[in-house]
Chains A and B, each alone.
Chain A
Amino acid sequence: MTEQEIAERVKKIMVEEFELKEEILVPTASLYDELGLDSLDSVDLVVALEREFSFKVVRNLDEEKIRAIRQLKDIHEFIMEKQKAMQGEPK
């Protein structure tokens, strides 16, 4: 999946699952200040991403990375990384 495709699907989640307006969903939008998500939302977001992109977050492995997510584009990067890791895994 290209970054563009990922961005589109993340945007769709933000609109449908978090009821955010499409026009504010720019890559540099800050999740907490500008998009108004809180810490409870961020867990629901992780679950929604897991489902959409068919990966599992591993707490000890991913916790730091998730905590470092600030802007929409950080999510895209995180997913790209997860997907890369998954491709490396034996089927």
Chain B
Amino acid sequence: MKYDTVVIGSGITGLTAALVLAQRGQRVAIVEKNRFAAPLLRRFRRGGVWCDPGFHYSGGFEPGGALSVIFRYLRMGDSIRPVPMNADGFDILRMGDMEVSIPVGLDRVEDALRAAFPQSEKAVRGYIEKVNAIMSLTPFLSFDLDYRDFSNNQHMIDESLDSFLDGLGAEKNLKELLGQYGQFLYGVPGNEVPFYIHALIMGSFYRSSQTLANGGDELVDAFLHRLDQEGVVMFCGSPVAGIEVDNNRTITGVKLGNGEMLECGSCISTIHPGLLVDLLPGGAVRPAFLSRLRGLENTEAAFATYLEVDDVPARLNDANFYRMRHPEALTHNSILAIMMAGSMSHGSRKKGLCVLKESPNSPISKELYGTSRRASEYVEYKEMETANTVERLLECYPEMRGKIRVADSATPHTYERYTGTPGGSMYGVKHSVNQIKLNSMTSIRGFYLAGQSILMPGIMGGAVSGVVTAANIIGLETVWNEVKQWRQ
């Protein structure tokens, strides 16, 4: 059997792309190396609490928002019911002695930042104005646009967040705070992130940040149901081991690790692009492209600790708490993010919390982890990082001492094992002013790249990338006009 399109990877990007194509009548298959779909979205249960690996909250769930419109277009609107977070402060940011709560709505974010940084009033206004302007020029963040606007990239200027804020005369701590906040949500420091990437992602969170009662499961279940209705075939448990290309540099199929061949007319790869180096046949692309894939710089990984708690500090029920690095501090030089308790505790009697910590360099080599995961060095490292996370949590919330138990933790190696993403990198390839963006098109006809590493990270970035890449195959104008009809 020949498929119109084979999608490699069943993360948010792959699931979205596959469903768009199938809805338009294509015969589609998805290949996922894990035994189950969407390893970053699928929750697991430990010690009586639900643990979310790669989804906690997102922008775009509000009516008319990117995710809500896409999910309605994919006829999943009824199964996904976002839960609002604290409108007066969905993210609480603490840096040094300063604390800023980020409320819902760009106007209110402006007020909050102005109150916290009275000396930078003008800079704050200029910042919010520009975020708004960039969003209004970007399809999916604005549904007023025409399909032709997809090729307008005038606003996608290569200026870093830091240099943009310097230009506005922003004070150092404002720059530091916005830079670190963003870095946690897209993985790139302020001196490297292109301002428009910061604007699109942070602007979406500012507009409306919401979560889902059943966490990532709510997304996966809705997708699997719809994909099944549309006849999409899922191959789980065997990785794609090779991409088949003919003499005209046209895709012909993908080969699975178990030897199975899936013939196809086109193929969308949503895996980390660096992994393609081992999957593309010799001669299919130029060595320069492979060198480029090998040299890609990635975002940093995170270390996740899942806790069972007797009591959740009240404000963590519907808000996340970020402990930023202090610019002058020598210790605590990684950001700690305590994710709101909401979805972890939902539907279970016990209460849970997930604490994420930036984890740039694990001392454990890939070989060591690969050969024997229970090697004592690894266990030791994991225990140490977990203990350190708990200690830092207690510094922020001393009242929790004696009232928490570790349910589990996930190291960068755990993430890499499940997703293949090198180093367990949180958001894949860095979108940086120092790194030219990869194109979705490749020199192999019918072979496309999509996902967090190509367009934008996060659930919203992945979903948008999935729609846009599918639209490149079946026609951007048609798909965009259809999607737009679901905005109300």
Contact code string B184-202 (vs A, CB < 8 Å = 1, else 0): 0000000000000000000
Contact code string A1-36 (vs B, CB < 8 Å = 1, else 0): 000000000000100111100000000000000000
B472 within 8 A of A: no
The answer to whether A17 and B439 touch (CB under 8 A), given A51-B295, A56-B434, A60-B158, is no
Q: Are A41 and B286 in contact (CB under 8 A)?
A: yes
CA distance A47 to B157 in the complex (A): 18
Chain A, residue nearest B434 (CB): A56
Q: Are B158 and A44 in contact (CB under 8 A)?
A: no
The answer to whether A19 and B157 touch (CB under 8 A), given A41-B443, A43-B439, A48-B291, is no
Question: By DSSP majority rule, is chain B's interface helix, strand, loop, or mixed?
Answer: loop
Residues on B with beta carbons closer than 8 Å to the beta carbon of A38: 443
Contact code string A34-64 (vs B, CB < 8 Å = 1, else 0): 0000101101111110010000111110000
B366 within 8 A of A: no
Q: Are B288 and A17 in contact (CB under 8 A)?
A: yes
CA distance A18 to B288 in the complex (A): 6
Q: Are A59 and B288 in contact (CB under 8 A)?
A: no
Q: Are B436 and A19 in contact (CB under 8 A)?
A: no
Residues on B with beta carbons closer than 8 Å to the beta carbon of A43: 436, 439
Q: Are A44 and B288 in contact (CB under 8 A)?
A: yes
B2 within 8 A of A: no
B307 to chain A, nearest CB (A): 43
A1 to chain B, nearest CB (A): 21
Q: Which of A40, A44, A51, A56 contacts B441 (CB 8 A)?
A: A40
Q: Are B157 and A60 in contact (CB under 8 A)?
A: yes
Q: Are A40 and B157 in contact (CB under 8 A)?
A: no
A82 to chain B, nearest CB (A): 15
Which B residues from 282 to 330 make CB contacts under 8 A with A? Answer: 286-289, 291-292, 295
CA distance A19 to B157 in the complex (A): 33
Which B residues from 396 to 447 make CB contacts under 8 A with A? Answer: 433-434, 436, 439, 441-443
Q: Are B157 and A44 in contact (CB under 8 A)?
A: no
Q: Are A44 and B442 in contact (CB under 8 A)?
A: no
Residues on A with beta carbons closer than 8 Å to the beta carbon of B439: 40, 43
Residue from A41, A45, A47, A56 having most chain B Cβ neighbours under 10 A: A47
Q: Are A57 and B295 in contact (CB under 8 A)?
A: no
Residues on B with beta carbons closer than 8 Å to the beta carbon of A41: 286, 288, 443
CA distance A38 to B291 in the complex (A): 17
Q: Are A47 and B436 in contact (CB under 8 A)?
A: yes
Residues on A with beta carbons closer than 8 Å to the beta carbon of B158: 58-60
Residues on B with beta carbons closer than 8 Å to the beta carbon of A60: 157-159
Q: Which of B157, B288, B433, B441 contacts A48 (CB 8 A)?
A: B288
CA distance A19 to B287 in the complex (A): 8
Q: Are A59 and B291 in contact (CB under 8 A)?
A: no
A53 to chain B, nearest CB (A): 14
CA distance A19 to B289 in the complex (A): 12
B196 to chain A, nearest CB (A): 11
B163 to chain A, nearest CB (A): 11
Residues on B with beta carbons closer than 8 Å to the beta carbon of A40: 289, 439, 441-443
Residues on A with beta carbons closer than 8 Å to the beta carbon of B291: 17, 44, 47-48, 51
Residues on B with beta carbons closer than 8 Å to the beta carbon of A48: 288, 291-292
Residues on A with beta carbons closer than 8 Å to the beta carbon of B295: 47, 51
Residues on A with beta carbons closer than 8 Å to the beta carbon of B159: 60
Residues on B with beta carbons closer than 8 Å to the beta carbon of A58: 158, 433
Residues on A with beta carbons closer than 8 Å to the beta carbon of B433: 56, 58
CA distance A56 to B289 in the complex (A): 18
A18 to chain B, nearest CB (A): 5
Pairs across A and B, CB under 8 Å, 23 listed? A16-B287, A17-B287, A18-B286, A18-B287, A19-B287, A38-B443, A41-B288, A41-B443, A43-B436, A44-B286, A44-B289, A44-B292, A47-B288, A48-B288, A48-B291, A48-B292, A51-B295, A56-B433, A57-B436, A59-B157, A59-B158, A60-B157, A60-B159
Q: Which A residues fall within an 8 A CB radius of B?
A: 13, 16-19, 38, 40-41, 43-48, 51, 56-60
